[in-house]
Amino acid sequence: MKRTEAGQAQLEKLVAKRGSLQRNKNELEDVMKGLFSSVFVHRYRDVRAEIRAACISELGYWLIHYRSVVSGRGRKTGEHTIFLL
């Protein structure tokens, strides 16, 4: 089947949009990794019990909801990587 010009144009727009969304996703993952490395990794040892509890609670949430970002699967990560079973 031959593609029409309109179909080809739409396909090109979708491919460009996909690339844009992938770049946005990568940027968000980088921001999340930065937050994880700068906040959770260091604050879980804080002197105040409330801060430690909040960090451990949120760390659990991140492990459940953002597993691929926190575990480092799929993309190169920084020095703080959690390996999940």
- Segments making up each domain of the chain, as ranges: 5-71
pLDDT digits (tens, 9 = 90+) for 57-84: 887 887 788 777 666 554 454 444 444 4
Which comes out higher in pLDDT, residue 53 or 16? 16
The Cα 34–Cα 51 span in angstroms is: 19
Residue 55 predicted with pLDDT over 50: yes
DSSP string, 49-73: HHHHHHHHHHHHHHHHHSHHHHHT-
Mean pLDDT of 36-48: 73
Rounded CA-CA distance 64/16 in Å is 31
